[in-house]
Structure 1
Amino acid sequence: MNGNRRTLLGLALLGAVDPVLAAVPFSSGGRNDKLDRELSAIVQDPACELASLSVLAIRKGKLAYEGQFGRRWIGNAASPDSAPDLPANRDTLYRIASISKMMTTLGLMRLVEDGKADLDADVSGYLGFTLRNPHYPDRAITLRHLLTHTSSLRDEAGYSFPAGTALREFVVPGSRLHAEGKMWAKNAGPGEYFTYCNLGWGVIGTLMERVTGKRFDRLMQGLLLQPLGLTAGYYVAGLPAAALANLATLYRKRTLDTEVWDAAGSWIAQVDEVRTRPPAPAPGIERYVIGENATPFSPTGGLRISARDMGAVMLMLMNDGVHAGRRILAKETLERMFARQWTADGKGGNGDTLNGFFNCWGLGNAQFPAKAGLRLVEGAFDAVGHLGDAYGLRSTFAFDRKRKNGMIVLIGGSSSDPGHHKGRYSALARFEERVLTSMFEHAIAGQG
């Protein structure tokens, strides 16, 4: 977003939210006391307390439930000068982690529709340099490969770089930052093997800049966020003042520089602690060159947005790409995007499921068939969407396209290691399963 217009535009967007949502329709879903109690109990469970929780459920294309619990900002109780805690509310924004990839994909698909990019073309032609796995130099890498995590890129050498660093200096063999080339798989070429890769979305964001000539965060405002009337952004320092004041700090009861947890200790801010420290501009932003490296804006995980505004995105997808009477994406584009591209063979021969998290994939979206070991809830919820996990946040954006049922979950951090709270029927943490299944039972399946 243009810094000179930030305040004016931010106020305009904030003023536009309720009329836009009412038009789609997105009126209040009413209260659900039993669900309120269950979710509140999960948040306060001493076995694993949650810093905050913001959720939304859609049933048959209409808002069925939304609720917020816990605190978006937690003061230091040991300090007499500490400001009071701030509760999460309907419009609290969260850094939604990897669900950002799906939102980035929606922007990319608009460019594909406009003929600015082709899913099956060699991305080298868009990037302005040759992108090749040096172990498979004769194989082109395409957007389809990047979107399905089959590009043969890997995260082992990193996936985020400061402004002023050209991405080609990292990925091109022999370049300044290529070093040992750990960003390239040796055992599988493009299109052969699924390995979840954040770096791929840095490439996608950079490509989007190259074909449009616009900085990634501002580009996504024009492609997706503003057309939907959302108060959201990939650049925290560019958010309007009202949004910053309502941004959730992400917490863990874990130190920042180690992985030592203390469930009986204090909450420790991990990211977006903007109440006491206003966000600084991205390092080196004055040296930013459009089309060289979009990772400072984190196309892979950096979107700040509320559950309610994510609900507007979900409704647009349920309505075949139409929002408030305006077409955002063609129905055919969404069919293409959500068509199954990769399915784990169950033997590890065609991909790494990361202990069961990734089993089926579309273009920039995970898929969760209602089958044992693959499902998100204890019920008939055949979903597509995305999960997120970073800096304490755990997030879910999942919907059943056929039935127009969907759920959004944003968890602002946990008091103990989620890995110690294994799920009973999925790869999720048990507290995530409890939230999702409770929502499904009481806001979707249990309704008349």
Structure 2
Amino acid sequence: MKKLIILLVFNALLYQSYGQTNDSISKELTQALEQVYAQGHIIGFSVAVVNQDGIVFEKGLGYADRKKNIVYSENTIQNIASISKTFIGVALLKAQEMGKLHLDDPINDYLPFEVVNPHFSNIPITIRQLATHTSSIKDPTRYEKNGYVLKDKNGGGAKVNGNFHPPDEMMSQGVFLKNILDKDGPWYKKKNFLKKAPGTMFEYSNIAAGLAALVLENATGESFPEFTGKHILKPLGISDSGWSFNTVDFSKHSKLYANKDTELAFYQLVNYPDGGLITSAHDLGTYLTELISGYNGNGEILTNESYKKLFTPYLAAENFKERNDRVYNDEYNMGIFMGISAQGQIGHTGGDPGVATHMFFNTKTKIGKILMINTELEKDGIEEFIDIWKTLEDFENKL
């Protein structure tokens, strides 16, 4: 009994010491981030550091709205660009668990229009090829030219990029993809496809990602927002995130900035599953915690078998023209819409007008990091972004 009491006292002291140490490290990290933010090239950003047990640090700095002095917090929401694609991967594997589809099924089994590489018309494109960016589908100029639509007419007085279209030109994602990929579509061109057979060459494709979400909708009979809400967001207790402005609390949404002096008009993505998730560092941290848990065999929203498929590197050297082995290169190898670097980092990067994001976890330490900003990155802003990320790296193992 005496031994037990001593052990309990020791554990209590250890817990108190750890709590004080962790609190001290958090303060130190906050101060370091504030020093980086003082460079002044980014209006607002948020970060999170997580492990499989939860979020160990989260912080927002700067402004969600500089004119109104609204601070950017860990609960501020904004679109996160291509990190959104990882949700398509998780959703596809959930649908496979449910028997609604199989990753090696031809996509034309689930589409209302036919998609065929005209250079290899006898070779079907599969769902797995969409998910590993080996479908041979390229992003045409129409993706950028017609893919962004203003939230408000005339942009509400903020800067409007040249590719932003008025709200009345919004179309469904299905129509958008059909226009580009159906041989009778008005924007169809043979050069929208590689002169390489499906399954042979890596070609990062936003269009292919959107097509995978459309396949999922037709296979499950549910819209992509409904399916991901039911099988990903809700089970994880994520309530402040969504795929459109009308499904989130817009009062929590950050302004976006074309540069450090200019507000950018709010916009929507026609091909929204490829980059349109609106979320916060806190919600995304909850999601990343689940991914790390799934990697460790303790996930909640997918089976262990599905998580193994999610994180399996499917590509080889011959699938690439060239490969970059940078630590956070999410195109060195691919799981199911999950980027895998050459140095043990799994996750995704993202970039859209006024948005830059990083989300990765280390497969050895099982620690993950998130960074999301609300400012278009020019040269000095890129350096500040890198400095923020490096600061998180310096502290991640201490927390």
What is the TM-score when the length of structure 2 is the normalising length? Answer: 0.79
**Cα offset for 1:166?**
6.1
- Paired position in structure 2 for 1:3: none
State the shift of 1:343 in Å: 4.6
What is the Cα deviation at residue 250 of structure 1? 1.7
Please state if 1:267 is matched with 2:259: no
Cα displacement string for residues 231-259 of structure 1 (whole angstroms, at most 9, x for unaligned residues) = 211111222xxx21111122122xxxxxx
Asked whether the equivalents of residues 384 and 400 of structure 1 are also in contact (C-alpha less than 8 Å), the reply is: yes
Shift, 1:322, TM fit: 10
Match of residue 213, structure 1, among 201, 209, 221: 221
Unaligned runs of 5+ in 1: 1-28, 76-83, 254-262, 273-281, 283-294, 371-381, 423-428
1:376 alignment partner in structure 2: none
1:140 aligned onto 2:92 = no
Q: Structure 1 residue aligned with 2:337, among 341, 352, 364?
A: 364
Note the C-alpha offset of 1:98.
Answer: 0.2
1:236 has 2:206 as partner: no
Asked whether 1:404 is paired with 2:333, we answer no
CA distance in 1, matches of 2:101, 2:263: 43
Alpha-carbon distance between aligned partners in 2 of 1:37 and 1:344, rounded to the nearest angstrom: 43
* Partner residue, 1:65: 57
> Residue 142 of structure 2 aligns to a residue in which SS?
coil
**Letter of the 2:251 counterpart:** A
Give the structure 2 partner of residue 102 of structure 1. 86
Which residue of 1 is the match for residue 175 of structure 2? Answer: 165
Q: How many Å separate the matches in 1 of 2:192 and 2:245?
A: 28
Task: Confirm or deny that 1:340 pairs with 2:313.
Answer: yes
| Gap regions ≥5 residues in structure 2 | 1-21, 148-169
Return the match for 1:304 from 261, 272, 278.
278
Q: Quote the offset at 1:106 in angstroms.
A: 1.1
1:446 is aligned to 398
Mapped partners of 2:342, 2:265: distance in 1 = 33
Q: Which residue of 164, 167, 185 maps to 2:194? A: 185
C-alpha contact 1:251 1:271 (8 A) present in aligned 2: no
The Cα of 1:162 is off from its aligned counterpart by 1.5
Give per-residue Cα distances to partners, 1:149-186, cap 9 Å, x unaligned: 1101011143447127263343122x032443332122
Corresponding residue of 1:196: 204
Distance (Å, rounded) in 2 between the aligned partners of 1:310 and 1:234: 14
Partner residue, 2:162:
none
Task: Tell me the alpha carbon deviations over residues 323-343 of structure 1, each in whole angstroms, 9 at most, x when there is no partner.
Answer: 9x9831011111111111125
Q: RMSD over aligned Cα, in angstroms?
A: 2.7
Q: Aligned residue for 1:251?
A: 257
Residue aligning to 1:433: 386
Do the aligned partners of residues 111 and 60 (structure 1) sit closer, same or farther apart at CA in structure 2, a change above 3 Å counting? Answer: closer
Identity of aligned residues (%): 24
Distance, in Å, in 2 between the alignment partners of 1:248 and 1:321 is 32
Q: Which residue matches 2:354?
A: 392
Whole-Å separation in 2 of the counterparts to 1:224 and 1:364: 15
In the TM superposition, 1:78-157 aligns within 5 A as 84-157=68-141
Asked whether 1:51 is paired with 2:43, we answer yes
Match status 1:223 vs 2:197: no
Structure 1's 204 and 334: CA in aligned 2 closer, same or farther, altered over 3 A?
same
Q: Letter of the 2:345 partner, please give it.
A: A
1:435 deviates by: 1.6
1:350 aligns with 2:350: no
User: Using the alignment, how far apart are the partners of 1:322 and 1:310 within structure 2?
Assistant: 18
The one-letter code of the counterpart of 2:28 is: K
Contact 1:344 1:359 in 2 (8 A): no
Listed as ranges, the matches of 1:17-32 within 5 Å are 30=23, 32=26
Contact 2:243 2:272 in 1 (8 A): yes
**Structure 2: distance between partners of 1:180 and 1:110:** 33
Structure 1 runs (4+) deviating above 4 angstroms are: 352-357
By how many angstroms is 1:386 displaced? 0.6
- Indicate conservation of the 8 Å contact 2:39/2:384, yes or no: no
Matching residue of 1:375: none
**3-state SS of paired residue (1:430):** helix
SS at structure 2 position matched to 1:56: strand
Contact 1:57 1:64 in 2 (8 A): yes
Q: Secondary structure at the residue paired with 1:139?
A: coil
Between Structure 1 and Structure 2, how many residues are aligned?
Answer: 347
Identify the residue that residue 7 of structure 2 maps to in structure 1. Answer: none
Hey, which of these two has a bigger chunk of helix by percent?
Answer: 2
